Structure 1
Amino acid sequence: MAMHFQAIIRAVAVLGIGLILAGCAEDIGVDQYGRKVAVERLEGQWLVINYWAQWCAPCRTEIPELNALEKQLKEQSVQVLGVNFDALQGEKLSKAAQDMGITFTVLAQDPAERYQLPRAEVLPVTYIVDDQGRMRERLLGEQTAAGLTARLAALKAEG
């Protein structure tokens, strides 16, 4: 009877630890609305990561193109992500993203380390990361939805 009780205790302990670990799913920070961005949401997807700032005039004209790109490629395992160059957080980030008309996800935490992106020294800069998490291209200057779609297609064809 005691051995049966110990087996039950062990099973409950293992189940509890599993539930605790499941609750600790890895995330890469929060978005402009303060919502967690889970890594699972980005794994296996191509990422277009754009660094922007409110004071950057080319960024302002590029944002509508990135909004269109995200809508256009949402069903094709491509995610558009923004990162504020000035590292704004919380309400300031939310307001800046809203003022810029950004509809895609803006990360409050810079993902450069996770994806081994070179430091952004000019704006705008856009990185294309493949579905394996490797940076494939760094594009300096203002981008268009058509240009990014063509680059993504070419990179996917290269494998």
Structure 2
Amino acid sequence: MATLNINGKRMDFDVEEDTPLLWILREHAGLTGTKYGCGVAQCGACTVHVDGVAVRSCSLPVGAVTSDQTIVTIEGLGAEKPHPVQQAWAELDVAQCGYCQPGMIMAASSLLAQNPHPTEDVIREQISNICRCGTYTRVLAGVKLAAERMATNHG
């Protein structure tokens, strides 16, 4: 039995401790915005936040997450109002096919929470998600726009 805090709600799951968090989110909690990509934590399609840090949920066993930790998925990120990264993505039409974009948005929002003024090199280094459509230039522009907006709105 696992008790998780997902998007502000405590949920109980009767699963094995080695079950990847991704499958708990998708198959048991019904949160399908987090995508399966590679299954080996390389592509980033499955990125979620655990205590504000971007993690690849396909390789994180549910037994490694405690009930005291907070998990946020793409569905929870902009639940009250769109996150500045989500707003920038929409404004700049960042997504092409869109499959990898929830993971990209989660990686970008975590980066900006930890480093509100990242350089282009830091953005390129920290957001290592793979996009089959090659939207990297638009992702970079989206992160920069979100960072600018967050700096303007918060200080």
Q: TM-score, normalised by structure 1?
A: 0.25
Pair member with larger Rg = 1
Structure with the larger helix share: 1
Q: Quick check: which one's strand share is greater?
A: 1
TM-score (norm 2): 0.25
